[in-house]
Amino acid sequence: MAKKKQRRRSRKFKGLNVTDAVLGYAGVSIWSEALLGVDPIQFLTDKTGGTGTWQITGRELVDSILGGTGGAGATSTANVGVAQNAFGVIKHNATQNATNALWQSAGLAVAGTVGKRVTRKPRNFLNRQLKNFGLGDMIRF
């Protein structure tokens, strides 16, 4: 009788990689500022809406999806010629800030690659220390 093949044990890390989380947040922050005019935390937590004319928060976006104006001022959007809802404001912000956001994203990619390479030894040291404390399977730098 043939021997059964055993499944190879996976060694894939299933915890939180702090370095990748920080780089991911930075990328989301770049595009959130460019398209919405607010940082990601303000987008999710702000209850009063954006303080500026061209800022859109999560609450305003939901209002716009449900058929409201989404906090977009009628006079400011009409002067520029965009729709009087959150999507018109996002379209306006995209035309104004897309080029800058693309350059920032490219810079972040380069800086992330160089930063990871430069900080490889200190991050390895931190990862070894985390393993000593028993946290190596939950968090990594």
Does residue 123 form part of some domain? yes
Does residue 73 form part of some domain? yes
What is the number of structural domains in the chain?
Answer: 1
DSSP calls for the chain: -PPPPPPPPP----SEEHHHHHHHHHHHHHHHHHHTSS-HHHHHH-SS--SSTT---HHHHHHHHTTS-TT--HHHHHHHT--SSHHHHHHHHHHHHHHHHHHHHHHHHHHHHHHHHHTHHHHHHHHHHHHHTT-TTTEE-
CA distances, 138 to each of 19, 56, 135 (Å)? 14, 35, 5
With 50 as the cut, is the pLDDT of residue 30 above it?
yes
Does residue 2 form part of some domain? no
Does residue 110 form part of some domain? yes
What is the token pair recorded at 41?
């935390």
Amino acid residing at 123: R
With 90 as the cut, is the pLDDT of residue 91 above it?
no
Does residue 105 form part of some domain? yes
Residue-number span of the structural domain to which 60 is assigned: 16-37+52-140
Q: What is residue 76's predicted lDDT score, i.e. its pLDDT?
A: 53
Convert the pLDDT of each residue in 4-19 to its tens digit: 777 777 778 888 999 9
Predicted TM-score (pTM) of this structure: 0.76
Query: Residue 140: what are its φ and ψ, rounded to 5°?
Result: -150, 150
Does residue 132 form part of some domain? yes
Does residue 44 form part of some domain? no
